[in-house]
Amino acid sequence: MSIDVDLETRPKLRKQERRKQILLELRLRPHVRISELADRFRVSTETIRRDLEKLSSDGLLDRAHGGASALVSGQYPTFDERAAARVEERERIGRLAAHLVQPGETLMVDSGSTTLQLARFLAFDGTPCTVITNSFPVAMTLGQSETAKVIVCPGDYLPSESAVIGTDTTEFLARHSVDRCLIGASGISEGGPSETVRGFAAIKRAMLRQSTESHLLIDGQKFGRKGLAQVGDLSDMTSVICDHAPAEELANSLRQSNVEVLVAR
């Protein structure tokens, strides 16, 4: 016996579920078209276009003509690979950044090998603070401190970074306001900080928006580098914490943007 199913009677998916289905579709094939998705989900092409724009801004797909494409994995080192390099420099930066945090402050800390050093020194110093993070290593490190309260963001797990990303993460961050955020980046140039790891630029932008003061923790080897996705402008930051001073051109741009450069000796 055959059963006829009227597809028009299927309930429409909610926005978040529809966007998850779009990402699942991109795991199965490299490109999807707006018209196809609109037919499949029985919504307008404008609705799908808004879905794709949001997912693109969250770093989860690449917009393409008439649709979207799956992200192409690059050769950027994994979290573990980065954490094993330039350890002494990262420790100096993390220690100085930790000294900026005042007892009782609220913080947002993103995923990164240098921000992990910050977490180590906050835990070691026993600084009372509340920390919102998308990084499991940062959360576990701060979890060893009896004086730190840790809040872990929801989101889609990114195994190579031991962190969560995506729309759930950025929307969670948007519901909180903190005294300061401390973030890393793949590079910084006169145009501002940028990011190579997929999905991270959106997380950093959300943290910058929700913080009274914003600090970029970055080692000097990343000066002048430009990652795939722009995080923001230089003026979005309160300070740059680094292991050596930037070259004259970048230093002038930071000065003109009223960004303080703190060198960890």
Helix H or strand E encompassing 257? none
CATH number, domain of 61, equals: 1.10.10.10
Q: Are residues 25 and 84 in the same domain?
A: no
Q: Are residues 106 and 133 in the same domain?
A: yes
Q: How many domains does the chain have?
A: 2
- Position 134, amino acid: N
2 lies in a domain? no
237 lies in a domain? yes
Neighbours of 201 (CB within 10 A): 25
Q: Are residues 59 and 88 in the same domain?
A: no
DSSP 3-state of 210: coil
Q: Are residues 19 and 117 in the same domain?
A: no
Asked if 225 and 188 count as a contact pair (C-beta separation under 8 A), the reply is: yes
What gap in Å lies between CA 164 and CA 52, rounded to an integer?
A: 19
Q: Are residues 36 and 61 in the same domain?
A: yes
Q: Are residues 43 and 121 in the same domain?
A: no
Q: Are residues 65 and 89 in the same domain?
A: no
- Domain containing 220 equals 79-263
Q: Are residues 109 and 62 in the same domain?
A: no
Q: What is the DSSP letter of 211?
A: E
1 lies in a domain? no
**Maximum separation of any 2 CA atoms in the chain, in Å:** 78
227 lies in a domain? yes
What gap in Å lies between CA 187 and CA 247, rounded to an integer?
A: 14
What gap in Å lies between CA 41 and CA 18, rounded to an integer?
A: 7
CATH number, domain of 185, equals: 3.40.50.1360
Q: Are residues 120 and 246 in the same domain?
A: yes
Instruction: Return per-residue pLDDT of the chain as tens, 265 residues.
Output: 333 334 344 567 888 889 888 887 777 677 888 988 988 888 999 999 999 988 887 777 788 888 888 765 444 556 666 666 677 888 999 999 999 999 999 999 999 999 999 999 999 999 999 999 999 999 999 999 999 999 999 999 998 889 999 999 999 999 999 999 999 999 999 999 999 887 999 999 999 999 999 999 999 989 998 888 899 999 999 999 999 999 999 999 999 999 999 999 8
Q: How far is CA 69 from each of CA 25, 170, 179, 206, rounded to the nearest angstrom?
A: 10, 21, 37, 24
What gap in Å lies between CA 260 and CA 200, rounded to an integer?
A: 24
State the pTM of this model.
0.73
What is the layout of strands, in order, in the sheet containing 67-69? 31-33, 67-69, 62-64
Q: Are residues 192 and 217 in the same domain?
A: yes
